[in-house]
Homo-oligomer: A and B are copies of this chain.
């Protein structure tokens, strides 16, 4: 069996989403990539989490062609593989319909950086894609979903490009969040924090519609605190 360790990590990331209340029934999926071998390990489609095993994971190449596995891969596979091709520094992708992040996606709103909880994980607002065109929806829809995310991170409309590791999440308009990280555990952790951050942003906005984002200084300070060369959080300097 290929990639035994990565399969376990991807399984564990999927289960963390369940433990933290981010998925209802089978609405969620996590994957990881082995860059050296160019292989992706992803959750199978529509399998109950309580019977899910590492051996059930599906292995595909970076184009989504199945290399190992008898179950159908997650129906969101083409979004995952596109993100791996576009964002070459990331090692794992997670997709959920977690309640508050999805509500921002449905409203077509980015999640503003209202506080240090946000700033510890996301170096600026969590962006939202443009709505997909009818042509995109009727065409290679799942692939186009990934493309909309990638486009949002490229320089566009006079805005600079975003670094996927500095802002490891994107909301797909009218859909839900995609989140990533260096490892499956990282990506799941980021998805859990994204939901907490979305929940607090929702309440901040409903308390005070004119609430303002934290300053660039604060964004920079907190981001460096956890991610910079001089990180001061935790027991080691590894992220």
Residues of A within 8 A of B (CB): 24-25, 27, 44-47, 71-72, 75, 97, 99-100, 102-109, 114-117, 131-132, 134, 137-138, 141, 174-176, 189, 192-193, 196, 199-208, 211-212, 214-215, 217-218, 221, 225, 232-235
Contact = CB atoms under 8 A, between A and B. Distances in A.
B99 A200 contact: yes
Contact of A207 (B24, B71, B202): B202
Contact of A200 (B106, B138, B200, B205): B106
A199 B199 CA distance: 13
B235 A117 contact: no
A235 B134 contact: no
Contact of A232 (B24, B75, B106, B201): B75
A211 B104 CA distance: 10
Given A47-B235, A189-B25, A234-B46, A117 B131 contact: no
A45 B234 contact: yes
29 contacts: A24-B193, A45-B233, A45-B234, A45-B235, A46-B233, A46-B234, A46-B235, A71-B235, A72-B235, A75-B232, A99-B199, A99-B203, A100-B203, A102-B115, A103-B203, A103-B204, A103-B207, A106-B200, A107-B211, A109-B207, A114-B174, A115-B175, A116-B174, A117-B176, A132-B218, A134-B215, A137-B217, A141-B221, A174-B214
Given A115-B176, A137-B221, 9 more contacts: A24-B192, A45-B235, A97-B116, A102-B115, A103-B200, A106-B204, A108-B212, A114-B174, A206-B207
Contact of A176 (B116, B134, B199): B116
